[in-house]
Amino acid sequence: RGDAAEPAIPFAEPGSLTRVYCVTSGKGGVGKSSVTVNLAAAMADSGLSVGVLDADIYGHSVPRMLGVDTGPTQVEKMIMPPRANGVKVISIGMFTPGNAPVVWRGPMLHRALRQFLADVYWGDLDVLLLDLPPGTGDIAISVAQLLPDSELLIVTTPQPAAAEVAERAGAIALQTGQRVVGVVENMSWLLLPDGSRTEPFGSGGGQTVADSLSRKVGTRIPLLGRIPLDPRLREAGDTGAPLVLTAPRAPAATALRTIATTL
Ligand code: ADP
């Protein structure tokens, strides 16, 4: 915002009707990307116009999880995002050759992010989900600058150690002024063949993060849902067919659909 020479970011314009959610976590591997793609697919399935910007420089896995098998195309000066399962997708991985790691420094990342927001033809989106890298690094700060009205959605596992770092990722909102929309607990339990539940990652992490962030921020931040472990969720991610669409009645899919409706 503010630089006349740069194209405007439509989502940052006053009166923009697009809700922008930044999905973040304290550390990797807690299911942040799985949650992002399933929320996106569920929202698109309910008739909303949805885009996902995969800004996870360490593990850009969104295109695969959503079943995107083509890259973006260029029409005049705009980048046209590919679309799969009703969701428009742009990933930082689409702009790095082969499977090369992203080794860009802060200013380069900031410029790339700006381009993904301003030069991609997203159309009139109801919702834009950003899959952020875990933690509180350069991308999280750039996003807050470029999209001050975006809201944070925190993903954690029930494990106390994961919850502690997730809380830090949420507390960035105190500095950026972003709203924290809520906490999602993933990998909460596993259903055993005899119908009982086991909790391999312990319990309580999601509620702990929600409570302590509420105290820090001074408003009530809800625990939006708890998603069980389900091997089908992993398989669905590997095959690019989101669980919310392929097995909508699975408890993990129901939890994700409920969260998508709440947002
Ligand atoms: P992150 O984006 O936080 O690094 P991912 O979404 O890539 O995490 O998830 C890490 C791994 O765990 C992936 O292989 C994913 O398929 C798997 N996974 C995530 N959530 C679940 C779940 N609820 N049940 C089973 N597997 C899951």
From 52, 234, 256, the mutation candidate for ligand 1 (largest count of ligand atoms within 8 A of CB) is 234
Q: How far apart are the CA of 134 and the centre of ligand 1, in A?
A: 13
Nearest to 102 by CA among 114, 92, 112: 92
Provide the pLDDT confidence category of residue 91 given band limits of 50, 70 and 90.
very high
Q: Tell me whether residue 170 is annotated as binding.
A: no
CA distances from 213 to 6, 72, 142, 218, 242 (A): 35, 38, 22, 8, 30
Residue 2 inside a domain? The answer is: no
- Residue 27 assigned ligand-binding role: yes
In a domain, 17, yes or no: no
Per-residue confidence band for 95, with pLDDT thresholds at 50, 70 and 90 = confident
Report how far ligand 1's centroid is from the alpha carbon of 34 (Å).
6
- Does the structure show a pLDDT above 70 at 15? yes
Q: Report which protein residue has its CA nearest ligand 1's atom 24.
A: 229
Residues 34-80: tens digit of each pLDDT: 999 999 999 999 999 999 999 988 778 999 999 998 999 999 889 99
Say what the pTM is. 0.95
State residue 199's pLDDT score.
Answer: 97
Q: Supply the mean pLDDT for the chain.
A: 93
Q: Which residue has the higher pLDDT, 11 or 98?
A: 11
Determine the Cα–Cα distance for residues 74 and 53; give it in Å rounded to an integer. Answer: 17
pLDDT of residue 3: 53
pLDDT for residue 249: 96
77 is in an annotated binding site: no
Q: Is residue 54 within a helix (H) or strand (E), and if so which, with residue range?
A: strand 50-54
pLDDT confidence band for 129 (50 / 70 / 90): very high
Q: Please tell me if the CB atom of residue 137 comes closer than 6 angstroms to any atom of ligand 1.
A: no
- For residue 238, which of 28, 66, 60, 36 has the smallest C-alpha distance? 66
**Angle at 88 (CA atoms; ends 178, 65), nearest 5 degrees:** 90
- 177 marked as part of a ligand binding site: no
- Indicate if the alpha-carbon torsion angle 78, 79, 80, 83 is positive or negative: negative
User: Can you give the CATH number for the domain in which 185 is found?
Assistant: 3.40.50.300
Burial of 193 (0-12, 13-18, 19+ CB in 10 A): exposed
Considering only residues 7 and 180, tell me which one the structure prediction assigns the higher pLDDT. 180
- Protein residue closest via CA to atom 15 of ligand 1: 234
CA-to-CA distance for 20 and 35, rounded, in angstroms? 15
Domain for residue 5, yes or no? Answer: no
Residue 68 lies in a domain: yes
CA distance 32 to 23: 7
- Pairing mode of beta strands 223-229, 179-191: parallel
Outline where the chain has alpha helix (H). 32-45, 62-66, 106-118, 138-146, 160-176, 205-217, 231-239, 243-246, 251-262
Count of domains for the chain: 1
Nearest to 217 by CA among 179, 262, 185: 179
Domain that holds residue 69: 22-262
The closest residue, in CA terms, to atom 27 on ligand 1 is: 234
Residue 71, domain member (yes or no): yes
Assigned domain for 253 exists: yes
Question: In angstroms, what is the span from residue 30 Cα to ligand 1's centroid?
Answer: 6
Residue 182 lies in a domain: yes
pLDDT of residue 4: 58
261 confidence band (pLDDT: 50, 70, 90): very high
| Residue 187 near ligand 1, beta carbon < 6 Å | yes
Is the minimum distance from the CB of 27 to ligand 1 under 6 angstroms? Answer: no
Q: Is residue 214 part of a domain?
A: yes
Calculate how far, in angstroms, residue 154's C-alpha sits from the geometric centre of ligand 1.
15
Tens digits of residue pLDDT in 147-169: 999 999 999 999 998 899 999 88
